[in-house]
Structure 1
Amino acid sequence: MRGRRRFLGGLLAAGALPATGWAELGSPEFLAAARRASGDYALFGLSGAGAALFQLPLPGRGHAAAAHPSRALAVAFARRPGRFALVIDCQSGKSLAELSAPEGRHFSGHGAFSRDGDLLFTGENAYDEGRGMIGVWDMREGLRRVAEFASGGVGPHDLRLMPDGASLVVANGGIETHPDAGRAKLNLATMRPNLSYLSLSGDLLEQHEPPAEWHQLSTRHLALRPDGLVALACQWQGDMADVPPLLVLHRRGEALQFCQDDEDRMTERRMRGYAGSVAISASGEEIAITGPRGGLALVFDTSGRRVAEITEPDICGTAAGRQGLVFTTGTGRVIGAAATALPMLHPVNWDNHLVAIAPV
């Protein structure tokens, strides 16, 4: 694997990165991983209307992807606890490189590019040390790993580049895992999730934790608004009789804002304490969280008030489209109330996330 990575990395350094942009692939709006009817896995590019514009094979089950800001390049991450991160030229369909997590690490399923696309940041679990790390890869030098720094907590899952282009926001889920134990959660009694802001060199700029009584509220997935508003989707690891709010909003310098759906939080219990994904609409006025275990998605306004509910089996992926919020389901559907060409049904099982490709 190291030899293959060096060889392909040399090609990248020599200028083999795709020179074309997303427009030459039909301007896909989204990326999504799925299991095809044949039982194998692929990364799909979808139009705003939900049509499949391309599909590229993956070596195993995918989770999320990072889209290069200007080139038709994506990095597809394995589902946690996975070790592959596949760099794909979405025009040719060729795998340009396969990143390998360092010894004693596995990827978290998410990554983020710098504003210029020169650096890739990967969330990683240092499982023998019981702490989270952020890996830094240089796209200009053959995807060479050039740095790493602490994520600010345990079990980093999602991470995003902040609108200032100079910092990252990281959802440290607080859950300790180890490959020898599969997907078992090893520290539920003592977990301490947090939301951390880091400089691109790893300095901890700001950090926030849920209240002590909600220390089992794992911080998982992130969405950003251009003005810096962060939306955070959470997953409750405690007693289902007392599920906290699953959507949290935050601005730097302020306290966490927990968006309680109703006074007794019955809706959170209907979602089985599990929010699978989060998105902020292109208008910035609506925020969606999905609950695949409960077959339910909720849409809030930015004050934290629920304004809509979607009932759909295994609904999990969500992202902002040009015509409104779009959702994917494990049954193959792509839906969106404001997009007139939707819904669309594909012979696949969509995985957890729908990733919006930023316009260029």
Structure 2
Amino acid sequence: MTTRRGFLASLAAAVAIPSVTWADAGSPDYLAAAREPDGSFALYGVTAQGQQRFRIPLPGRGHAGAGHPVRPEAVTFARRPGTYALVIDCAQGHVIRTLTAPEGHHFSGHGAFSADGELLFTGEIDNATGSGWIGQWTRAGGYRRSGQFASGGIGPHEILRRPDGGLVVANGGIIAALDDDRTKLNLDTMRPNLTYLALDGTVEEQVELSPDLHWNSIRHLAAHADGTIAFAMQWEGAAAVTPPLLGLHRRGQAPVMCTLPDAMATRMQNYGGSVAFEAAGDRVAITSPKGGVLAIFDLDGTFIDMPVRADVCGVGAAPDGFMLTDGFGGMARFGANALAGVAAFDVAWDNHLITI
């Protein structure tokens, strides 16, 4: 029989056992997928100083991922239209669980944890209709599928946890065929939107672009501490048009479209790759691997600078600005007003740099 004294002793012992944290995986600052020189793929944990903390092989090309807010666990998603995601113990270097998209769905390449880390949300697309879904998985149940709800649009891509704990979804608006070319089937009727969701799936707010920008597919997201959401876009309309590729939105207001001087707008080649706010400050950066540049704006949407970096795409928050990765294995930092190399790896970094 358990005595009160024994119960209290057991409780004290349990409390005394330290929780496993990202420190047990070497305290990486970022996660990034990469292609190795031999054509294989891996997930890396790296620091802001360019030091490798771990490398975990992947069965195929990764896209983006989500880091648990406390524990050294990461979820990495197969390249679209992938149907699997891997939950990885980054401290031990092994796969905890393979998640499989429900029949008739594929993952969108992105996911997000709830603030307490107990729920994982995955972006999903219906194969037949392109309609968007958010899958819910419960960590305490071994990442058990525990529900789903509509994303609020067609073709969701990135989903993000907001500073207030809710979700925001980039519904790109595109129905894509499941062929090797990802043929786009509905360009004339695209209606991308930004959807704010409660964790139970309730739609709290939706934002659509003006009709002349309906070809601007909303793809990637970043959140400022004050709740401002930045969204990066990819233009599917006429190539001769150079629309804004970055938008800023505050709840209850119209979106602010961040414009570039004409000569610089063409350098983006109508493609926004990734987006991030700096860790301490009010600047936001959007990358263009096709143009080999990144564009930096302030929180009001005013253009600041356009540094050049070949094949740059991954961008994450750094204490003094932004950390960047490129397809040639480079890591760089943009600080106060200059771009400086940090490290070079013998890999090709994929599209995204995930800040832990």
TM-score by length of 2: 0.92
Choose which of 266, 271, 282 in structure 1 pairs with 2:268.
271
Choose which of 308, 311, 322 in structure 2 pairs with 1:311.
308
Q: Deviations over 1:12-40 (max 9, x none)?
A: xxxxxx95111122211000000011210
Equivalent position of 2:51 in the other structure = 51
Contact 1:236-1:273 at 8 Å conserved across structures:
yes
SS at match of 2:188: coil
Structure 1 residue 188 and structure 2 residue 181: aligned? no
Structure 1 residue 235 and structure 2 residue 234: aligned? yes
The whole-number CA distance in structure 2 between the counterparts of 1:274 and 1:307 is 19
- Residues 66-85 of structure 1 correspond to what in structure 2 (within 5 A)? 66-85=66-85
Equivalent position of 1:159 in the other structure = 159
Gaps of 5+ in 2: 1-17
The residue type paired with residue 237 of structure 1 is: E
Gaps of 5+ in 1: 1-17
SS at match of 2:296: strand
- Deviation for aligned residue 1:299: 1.1
Equivalent position of 1:283 in the other structure = 280
Contact 1:225-1:284 at 8 Å conserved across structures:
no
Q: Deviations over 1:302-360 (max 9, x none)?
A: 12122122211110000002232010000110000339984211000000000000xxx
Structure 1 residue 343 and structure 2 residue 342: aligned? yes
Equivalent position of 2:257 in the other structure = 258
SS at match of 1:352: coil
The residue type paired with residue 221 of structure 1 is: H
Q: Which has the larger radius of gyration?
A: 2
The whole-number CA distance in structure 1 between the counterparts of 2:335 and 2:277 is 14
Equivalent position of 2:32 in the other structure = 32
Equivalent position of 2:292 in the other structure = 295
SS at match of 2:305: strand
Equivalent position of 2:9 in the other structure = none
Equivalent position of 1:134 in the other structure = 134
Equivalent position of 1:169 in the other structure = 168
Equivalent position of 2:224 in the other structure = 225
Q: Deviations over 1:36-91 (max 9, x none)?
A: 11210000001111221111011110011100000000000111111121000001
The whole-number CA distance in structure 1 between the counterparts of 2:91 and 2:106 is 28
Choose which of 324, 327, 330 in structure 2 pairs with 1:333.
330
The whole-number CA distance in structure 2 between the counterparts of 1:95 and 1:168 is 26
The whole-number CA distance in structure 2 between the counterparts of 1:218 and 1:32 is 24
The whole-number CA distance in structure 1 between the counterparts of 2:116 and 2:341 is 33
The whole-number CA distance in structure 2 between the counterparts of 1:337 and 1:195 is 28
SS at match of 1:43: strand
Aligned-pair identity (%): 51
Contact 2:332-2:340 at 8 Å conserved across structures:
no
The whole-number CA distance in structure 2 between the counterparts of 1:351 and 1:65 is 11
Contact 1:49-1:342 at 8 Å conserved across structures:
no
Q: Deviations over 1:95-117 (max 9, x none)?
A: 01110001111101100000000
- Deviation for aligned residue 1:181: 6.1
Contact 2:323-2:332 at 8 Å conserved across structures:
yes
- Deviation for aligned residue 1:224: 0.3
The whole-number CA distance in structure 2 between the counterparts of 1:138 and 1:42 is 25
SS at match of 2:266: helix
Contact 2:130-2:174 at 8 Å conserved across structures:
no
The whole-number CA distance in structure 1 between the counterparts of 2:263 and 2:254 is 25
Structure 1 residue 119 and structure 2 residue 116: aligned? no
Structure 1 residue 213 and structure 2 residue 209: aligned? no
The whole-number CA distance in structure 2 between the counterparts of 1:90 and 1:38 is 23
- Deviation for aligned residue 1:285: 1.3
> 73-82 or 180-189, which moves further after superposition?
180-189
Q: Deviations over 1:257-302 (max 9, x none)?
A: 101112xx33232111000000000113110000000111111111
Which structure exhibits the higher relative contact order, with contacts defined as CA atoms closer than 8 Å and separated by 6 or more residues? 1
The residue type paired with residue 214 of structure 1 is: L
The whole-number CA distance in structure 2 between the counterparts of 1:127 and 1:227 is 36
Structure 1 residue ranges, 4+ long, deviating more than 3 angstroms after superposition? 339-342
SS at match of 1:242: coil
TM-score by length of 1: 0.91
The whole-number CA distance in structure 2 between the counterparts of 1:256 and 1:341 is 32
The whole-number CA distance in structure 2 between the counterparts of 1:182 and 1:102 is 23
Q: Deviations over 1:182-211 (max 9, x none)?
A: 411111111110000011111111101111
- Deviation for aligned residue 1:228: 0.5
Q: Aligned in 2, Cα 1:341/1:190: closer, same or farther, shift over 3 Å?
A: closer
The whole-number CA distance in structure 1 between the counterparts of 2:230 and 2:176 is 25
The residue type paired with residue 164 of structure 2 is: D
The residue type paired with residue 66 of structure 1 is: A
Equivalent position of 2:104 in the other structure = 104
- Deviation for aligned residue 1:129: 2.8
